[in-house]
Amino acid sequence: MPDDGDTKERAVCPICGTVHYENPLTVVGTIPCWGDQVLLCKRNIEPRLGKWTLPAGFMELHETTGEGAARETQEEAGASFELGELFSLVNISQVGQVHLFYHAKLLSDTFDPGFETMEARLFDEQDIPWDEIAFRTVGETLKRFFADRRLGRYSVHVFDIT
In a domain, 72, yes or no: yes
Helix (H) or strand (E) holding 142: helix 136-151
- Taking only the tens place, the pLDDT of each residue in 65-107 is 999 999 999 999 999 999 999 999 999 999 999 999 999 999 9
Q: Is 51 exposed, middle or buried (0-12, 13-18, 19+ CB in 10 A)?
A: middle
Strands 56-58 and 52-53: unpaired
CATH of the domain at 66: 3.90.79.10
In a domain, 111, yes or no: yes
More confident call, 2 vs 31: 31
In a domain, 7, yes or no: no
In the predicted structure, residue 4 carries a pLDDT above the cut 80: no
- Per the structure, the count of domains in the chain is 1
Tell me if 42 sits within 8 A of 118, measured CB to CB.
Answer: yes
Neighbouring CB atoms inside 10 A of 91's CB total: 15
Q: Please provide the size of the chain in residues.
A: 162
